[in-house]
A = this chain, B = another copy of it.
């Protein structure tokens, strides 16, 4: 029962003593997407084993990374603490690295819309934010999240907005195919694997924000072309 430790006075080893064991970071991934109940975590993590999940949650709570919280009505659930939320950057950085590792055979694995959302979030490049205020609503397998661009900064949040500049609908696997550069977004549109509603000129800006389109940054400087419109 004594927790295994690397026994090193090193920031990285200390971090791994907390989140380095099997399944732990994937539990945190799920809670980075949204708070969850125990059964939801079990479902999102096929193969985890009920005892192991309970153990991990307990360790994360003791480490101050996760706390109990009300999810849905008044059932028991879990959410990240401030300290756990601080893992978003490290986790997104790892996911960004992993996007380049996605093998073709991995496509036979499990997929959820939340993972596509996290992949999009990992791709957002604050150095490529367009000079217009607008927002891109995404409907991935009927789970909705939105990227809001305002004042030169891009943010992502769950749920819809009233007046999205464009609404992009697709499925999780397609979105991950695109994010991992195995599928060209324009080809995906042509194949009807992705549909877009709204101002068509926002699409290249959206793709450029994710680093998926445009060798140069000339699209981001088209400040005048689409100014003063809906956006939230």
Contact = CB atoms under 8 A, between A and B. Distances in A.
A22 B17 CA distance: 10
A8 B109 contact: yes
Contacts of A129: none
A115 B15 contact: no
A95 B15 contact: yes
A72 interface: no
A214 B122 CA distance: 31
Interface in A44-78: 46-47, 63
A207 interface: no
A25 B16 contact: yes
A9 B101 contact: no
Contacts of A107: 9
A134 B7 CA distance: 36
Contact of A29 (B7, B12, B83, B108): B12
A15 to B, nearest CB: 3
B118 A12 contact: yes
Contact of A96 (B10, B11, B26): B11
